[in-house]
Amino acid sequence: MKRILVLSEFNSVRGPISQGYLNNFKKCNAEIYSVGVKTKNVNANAIKVMTLDGIDINSKNAISLDEIKNLKLDYVISLSDKAKPMANNLDASILKFHYHFNDLENLNGSDEEILNHFITLRDTIKLYIEKFCKIYLNEYY
């Protein structure tokens, strides 16, 4: 069974979206974990845009790196520059990937403008995760 860890800064937007797509795209037997450098509740706009794409991330629970430190991980995907050092400190045998996705925590604008930023981020993450699954898991939804 493959084990994949997704790391982000707060685990409130990028991590839950990535975890949602990894769970949705994988056909193999894999465990997906999402951890933040710091933790917050899942952002309401992240929940909304994923629901629009048919994926429920509302019940995602925040976990700490300490809770999974004894697991043998196969892959780590860091989603922000602040999470990358944490990924680099993990066991050298783990395949590590990094892509910095924009942080949407403190956006200004109308509700529609902010939601459009979340949709753009969601779609960018979706493409990245789709490619990851196709290349490294050899299958996807």
Domain containing 102 — which CATH number?
A: 3.40.50.2300
Q: Are 6 and 77 in contact (CB under 8 A)?
A: yes
141 domain-assigned: no
The single-letter DSSP state of residue 104 is -
Specify which residues 97 forms β-bridges with: 77
118 domain-assigned: yes
The tens digit of pLDDT for each residue in 15-72 reads: 999 999 999 887 767 899 999 888 788 999 999 999 999 999 987 766 778 888 888 9
What is the model's pLDDT at position 63?
Answer: 76
Q: How many residues does the chain have?
A: 141
User: Is the per-residue pLDDT at 141 higher than 50?
Assistant: no
Domain count, the chain: 1
Confidence of residue 134 (pLDDT cuts 50, 70, 90): confident
96 domain-assigned: yes
Confidence of residue 135 (pLDDT cuts 50, 70, 90): confident
Residue identified by tokens 């493959």 is 2
What is the extent of the structural domain holding 24? 2-136
83 domain-assigned: yes
**pTM listed for this prediction:** 0.92
Question: Cα separation of 10 and 14, whole Å?
Answer: 8
Closest to 66 (Cα-Cα) out of 31, 43, 90:
90
7 domain-assigned: yes
Question: Cα separation of 32 and 5, whole Å?
Answer: 6
57 domain-assigned: yes
The tens digit of pLDDT for each residue in 75-126 reads: 999 999 999 999 989 999 999 999 999 988 788 999 999 999 999 999 999 9
For the chain, first and last CA: distance in Å?
18
Question: Cα separation of 125 and 129, whole Å?
Answer: 6
What is the model's pLDDT at position 121?
Answer: 97
Q: What is the mean pLDDT of the chain?
A: 89
